[in-house]
Amino acid sequence: MSALNCPNPACEAQRRAGQYLCWDCWDALPGPTRGALSSRDDLAIVRLQILHREFAAGVPPHEIEIDL
């Protein structure tokens, strides 16, 4: 089905629609960050914006901390 580019600029893998990242980048995120991103509440879009901003700044997935 639809394959989209992983938002990590250092990654050339693809993600599925409905997923924020490819599996490798997702697995590389710290546990608390994964947990925060898995919450689909009113702050989900804010978390996603933070995630993309961190990637844009060159932060590797294992150093991205999101605790909203």
Tell me how far apart the alpha carbons of residues 67 and 23 are, in angstroms, rounded to a whole number. 20
Distances (CA, A) of 13 to 2, 5, 40, 43: 13, 6, 24, 26
- Write the interaction track for Zn ion spanning residues 24-43; mark x where CB under 5 A is met and - where it is not: -x------------------
Residues in binding contact with Zn ion, number by CB under 5 A: 6
Choices 21-29, 30-38, 39-47, 52-60 (CB under 5 A): range interacting with Zn ion: 21-29
* Chain contacts with Zn ion (rule: CB under 5 A): 6, 8, 11, 13, 22, 25
